Amino acid sequence: MWEDSVGPGARQPICALTAAHIDDFDRSELMKFKDAGLDVMESKPCNIPRLFKVVDDMFKSLQLPAIACALVALSSAAAQSDEYTKIDNHPCLRDYNGITKSMFDLADANPTLATVTDIGDTYLKLHPGSAITEMSDIPEDGFDIWGFNVTNSDSSHTSDEKAKVLIISGVHSREYATSELNMRFAEKLLDGFGDNSDINWILNHTEVHFIFTANPDGRYMAESDVELWWRKNANFENGSTCDHPEDNPGVDMNRNYPFAWGREDGASADPCMDDFFGSAPGSEPEVQAVIAYAKSIFPEHQFLDDPENSIDMERGENTTGVFIDIHSSGRMIYYPWGFVDQIAPDDDALQAFGRKLAKADDPSRDHVLWAPEQPDFMYPASGDATDYMYGALGVASFGFEIGQNFDEDCPVFEDEVVADNIPALMYAVKAASLPLFYSQGPDILSLSVHVDEEYEESSNEIHISVKASDSELVNIENYPTFHTGDQAVNGVTLFLDVHPENHNGAGHTWELAFVDTKDGIDTFGKVVRMPSDVSPGRHIVYAQAVDSDGYLGPVTSSWIDVPEITNPNQLLDGDGMINPCEVTIGRSSNSPLTVDCDKIGKQEEPRKEIKPLIEEIDNGTRSKALSLASLAATAIVGLVL
C-alpha cells in the first residue's frame, strides 16, 4: 500500500502485501489500480492508522478493486501486529524478545532512518554461568545491549550538526510498560516521517537515540518468573549472603552511576536490598554501556572534569541535548537534583521543562513533580542516571514515572500511559537543540495554515492562525504558577521552508499580527499573499513565538500545499502595484512596523530584541534585507504615514 505524503509524485509505502495475499488477485488487475494506492514491495510493518485512511479515501472514490486488496492488507496488518511475543497476560506489552525483534525489523524496513548498534554486554554475558542456578529460566549466557538511532541519514545536516536525544527504558526489569512506551515512540517517529511535518524536521535536525532494554538479564528474569518482582541486574556476586533468591540479589543500576554514588541516604549498601548501589561507582557493565553510549552522542565540550565539585555551576542556556529515563509508576516527572532535596543551578529552565513535560500529558489527570524543593519530593535517590547525565555530561535530564503499576493493565496502558506520555516525549525532542533556553519561552499551542478557496483564480492568499502562550504549559494543576510563564507573547514569526535555527536572513518570513487573548492564550493571524517565486507543491511552514524577555519557544510546523497559479495578474493589486500585505519593514531592530491589509501604517507594540545567544547560533541576526518589493511597499507606507 502507498500514500502520497510529500508532494505530487512522491509516494511512501504504508505496508506490504505478502506474496500469499498477492496470489489471491490477478497481478495485472493489481497493477491497473496501482495509482489508486496499491503496490507490491519488500516486507514492511504496516502503519495501520494511515492504511485505514487510504481505505477510507478509496471508499469515497469507489475504487472497488483497490478496496478489496486494501481490506486484505488490513488483515495482514492485524496479523503483523501479533507477530511479536508478548508478556504473559499483557497482550499490549511486548516482551524482551518481541521488543528486540521489533527493533531489528524497524531498522530493516527503514534503512535511511534507523540503525542498530551493539553498545555493550550484560553481566551474565561477561560472566557466563554465574547465575544462581535454582532460579528458573536464568539466561546463563547473557545478552547484548542495543542502541537504536532514529534520524534521517539523507538530511543535509551532519551528525555533528544535529541535536541529540537519548531515551532509555527497562532499567528496572519489573517495570514492564517502560520498554513498550519507548518502542511506541520510536515507531511513531518512523511511521510519521514523510507524513507529519514536525517529525520530518525533527528527524532532519535531530538524532533520537533509544535503549529499549537497558537491563536485559534482569528483564528476562522478571518475565520468566513474575513472582520474583525482579528489579535489579543479574550480578549476584555480592548477594551470596541473601537467604533466598527472592531477596533479589543484584545491583540497582539506577543507584550505580558515578555521581553522588554511595550515599546511604539515597541508596543501600546491603546487596539484598532493592536499591543496592553496587561494589563501586559505575561497576556494572550495563551502566558502563549506557554511559559510553551517552558520551559517544552528546557533545564532549559540555562534559565536566570534576562533576561532584561543580554542583553549583550553571550549565547554561546554550546547553544542547536531552536525556530521558523512563520508569514506572506514579505519574511523576523528576529532574536534578535527585540525590538531595536541593535545586540545581539551572532550576528555572529544568523546572519549566519538567512542568511542560507534565502538562503535555492529559491535564485532567493528576501529575506530580518529584523534584527538589517541591511538595512531592518523595525521597533522595543517589547515583541515578538523570543526576549523572546532567551533573557529569551537562545534558538536560529528566525521568518519567509512568502509569499506575509496574505491570500495567492494557486498557490503562493504551488509554492513559501512551496517550499521556507520547506528547511529552514529542515536546522533549522538539526542544532538544536548546532545552534550557526553549523551555523558558512561549509555546505554539496550535498552528493553522490553509489556502484560500480562490487561490488559483484570483487571490493567491494563505490564511494563517496561531495560538501561543507563555503560561499555559508551564503552570500545572496543584502547583504554584511559575515565573518563566509570566511574560507576554511578544510575537510569532513564520518561516517558509527554512527552519528558524537555519535562517540567515534569506527566504520568506512573516510576522503575525496580534488578534486577541483569552485565558492566557494569545491568538495571532495573517492573510499572506504567497510570493511569486514560491513554486507549486508541498512546502513546510515553521512557527516560533518570542516572549517579552526575548526567550524563544520550541518550533512547530505545518505542511502547506501551494496550488499552481492560473492568473499571473493576481500577483499585483488592481492598480498594478505590488500588494504590501505580507511585507514586514524593520524601521529599527527593536520596533518593526508590520504592514497589514487592514492596519497599514499602524505601529505594533515594540518587540524586544531576541537574546544574543540566538544571534550567535545563527551566525548573524534575523533582520531581513529589503527586496525591491519591500522598497515599493516602503514608499506606499511612507505616503500613508
Give the helix, strand, coil percentages of the chain, each rounded to 5: 30, 20, 45
Side chain identity at 322, as an amino acid letter?
Answer: V
User: pLDDT value at position 584?
Assistant: 35
Tell how far CA 96 is from the center of its chain. Answer: 23
Q: Which residues contact 191 (CB under 8 A, 6 or more apart)?
A: 47, 49, 50
**Cell numbers standing for residue 226:** 513474575
User: How many whole angstroms separate alpha carbon 458 and alpha carbon 452?
Assistant: 10
Distances from the Cα of 619 to the Cαs of 321, 438, 614, 616, in angstroms? 20, 18, 8, 5
DSSP letter for each residue of 398-464: EEEEESS-SS--HHHIIIIIIHHHHHHHHHHHHTTTSHHHHTTS-EEEEEEEEE-TTIIIII-EEEE
**Residue 401 annotated as catalytic:** yes
User: How many whole angstroms separate alpha carbon 302 and alpha carbon 145?
Assistant: 26
Is the CB of residue 206 less than 8 Å from the CB of residue 429? yes
User: Residue 76: is the preceding peptide bond cis (ω within 30°)?
Assistant: no
Question: Edge-to-edge, what's the strand order for the sheet holding 513-518?
Answer: 443-451, 461-469, 521-529, 513-518
User: How many whole angstroms separate alpha carbon 259 and alpha carbon 383?
Assistant: 5
User: pLDDT value at position 241?
Assistant: 64
- First CA to last CA distance, the chain: 58
Phi and psi torsions of 106, nearest 5°: -65, -40
User: Residue 337: is the preceding peptide bond cis (ω within 30°)?
Assistant: yes
Helix (H) or strand (E) holding 94: strand 90-94
In 141-221, at which residue ranges do the beta strands (DSSP E only) sit?
144-150, 163-168, 206-211
User: How many whole angstroms separate alpha carbon 49 and alpha carbon 46?
Assistant: 9
**Cell numbers standing for residue 586:** 524593520
Residue 383 DSSP one-character state? T
Q: Which of 148, 12, 18 is nearest to 80 (CA)?
A: 18
User: pLDDT value at position 135?
Assistant: 61
Q: Which domains does the chain have, with CATH numbers?
A: 92-439 (3.40.630.10), 443-562 (2.60.40.10), 575-640 (no CATH)
450 by Cβ neighbours in 10 Å (0-12 / 13-18 / 19+) ranks as middle
Of these residues, 401, 416, 501, 582, which one is catalytic?
401
Q: Angle at CA 392, nearest 5°, toward 389 and 395?
A: 45
Q: Which residue has the cell 485505514?
A: 52
In 497-609, at which residue ranges do the beta strands (DSSP E only) sit?
509-511, 513-518, 521-529, 537-547, 556-562, 584-586, 592-594
User: How many whole angstroms separate alpha carbon 277 and alpha carbon 281?
Assistant: 8
User: How many whole angstroms separate alpha carbon 282 and alpha carbon 284?
Assistant: 6
Mean pLDDT in runs of 10 for the chain (641 residues)?
Answer: 33 38 38 41 40 48 50 44 85 96 98 98 90 65 96 96 98 96 98 97 98 96 85 83 68 97 94 93 98 98 96 96 96 96 97 93 71 92 97 98 90 93 96 98 95 70 94 91 96 96 91 95 92 91 97 97 71 38 33 36 37 36 33 37 36
User: pLDDT value at position 454?
Assistant: 72
Residue 558 DSSP one-character state? E
User: pLDDT value at position 531?
Assistant: 86
Distances from the Cα of 16 to the Cαs of 1, 40, 47, 216, 639, in angstroms? 6, 6, 10, 31, 63
